[in-house]
Amino acid sequence: MTRTPVVVLISGTGSNLAALLAAAAEEACPYEVVAVLADREASGLEHARAAGIPTEVVALRDHPDRAAWDRALTAAVAAHDPRLVVLAGFMKLVGPRCSSPSAAGSSTPTPPCSPAFPGAHGVRDALAHGVKVTGRSVIEVDAGVDTGRILAQRAVDVLEEDTEEALHERIKAVERPLLVEVVRRLTAAR
Ligand code: GAR
């Protein structure tokens, strides 16, 4: 079976990446992770290295400006010729060529439940607002901050005693299988 090549972009601990890799190790999985790129020396890169998958860090500070960084990231992605780019906790906006669904569809798990509370501190913002239900969306990446079309969504109850950390951990437990499900669906169709 020919598997659909996927490039994953990360910035953090890579728990979503680990879930994607675990699913990819199953025989019937429709995708293969061909490279993992990061915008910093993210600890999550270890998951890829342990699996023998090529990694690369394309850091903003190594480029004269954001446009140059974006060109370098796009070239690094294109070098692996993916059919899908998955932003799995990648904490920077990417340019249109990197996220264009016609070139390579992209999806990202966004906390806590797009389109509410976009950005890097969605869980904190949701708690501060006092919402009782939040959740996780996987979206198609566009030029905005968590504004893309929603591909899948799950709800997570907010508990009275929740801290940002505790709530985010429960959200991440929902997010991992949701992201894998969406990536399986998208790659099976390509
Ligand atoms: C995940 O919870 C992901 O949803 C979030 O960063 C975390 C990364 O965790 N992404 C965003 O906030 C994107 N807007 P991980 O490095 O353990 O996968």
Compute the average pLDDT of residues 114-118: 83
Q: What is the mean pLDDT of residues 92-118?
A: 72
- With bands split at pLDDT 50, 70 and 90, how would you rate the model's confidence at 144? confident
Q: Specify the residue with its C-alpha closest to ligand 1, atom 3.
A: 89
Are 86 and 179 spatial neighbours (Cβ–Cβ below 8 Å)? yes
Residue 100: the pLDDT is 61
> Which residues have C-beta within 8 Å of that of residue 102, sequence separation ≥ 6?
none
- If one residue of 43, 108, 182 were mutated to test the ligand 1 pocket, choosing by the most ligand atoms within 8 A of its CB, it would be 108
For residue 97, name the pLDDT band (cuts at 50, 70, 90): low
In angstroms, the CA 123 to CA 64 distance is 32
Q: What is the pLDDT of residue 170?
A: 95
- The best mutation among 92, 93, 175 to test binding of ligand 1, ranked by most ligand atoms within 8 Å of the C-beta, falls on 175
- Higher pLDDT: 93 or 101? It is 93
- Judged by DSSP in three states, 85 sits in strand
Q: Dump pLDDT digits (tens) for 1-52.
A: 799 999 999 999 999 999 999 999 999 999 999 999 999 999 999 999 999 9
Whose alpha carbon is nearest atom 5 of ligand 1?
89
Query: How does residue 83 score in pLDDT terms, banded at 50, 70 and 90?
Result: very high
Give yes or no for a contact between 146 and 111, defined as CB atoms under 8 angstroms apart: no
Q: 39: which DSSP letter?
A: S
- Strand pairing category for 4-10 and 84-87: parallel
